[in-house]
Structure 1
């Protein structure tokens, strides 16, 4: 909980951020990176492979 200290509001980092970053953020980044790599591989094999 935010505290008033010397006329200033003092909060922890989690309180100031409003939420905790969970594994969901990491999972979205990993999955999206994998999809981009797969998409580039498909484009390469379709257009540039002879």
Structure 2
């Protein structure tokens, strides 16, 4: 039986069980620019 206090060492990739391609930052930037553009359009019209 395993000890509950025993530390388990895994790499970051093993812990998250997948790759992180970094697409999220681009989605956030595009959506931020789109939101600013829509708000500016609403303000100007």
Tell me the TM-score normalized by structure 2: 0.65
- Counterpart of 1:3 in structure 2 is none
Aligned residues between the structures:
40
Structure 1: which 5+ residue stretches go unaligned? 1-6
**Which stretches in structure 2 are left out of the alignment for 5+ residues?**
1-5
Higher RCO structure (Cα 8 Å, ≥6 apart):
1
Q: What per-residue deviation string (whole Å, max 9, x for no partner) do you get for residues 9-44 of structure 1?
A: 421111111222213111111111111111111111
| Aligned position for 2:43 | 44
TM-score (norm 1): 0.61
Tell me, in whole angstroms, the C-alpha distance in 1 between the residues paired with 2:9 and 2:29.
35
Runs of 4+ in 1 over 4 A off after TM superposition: none
The residue aligned with 1:16 is: 15
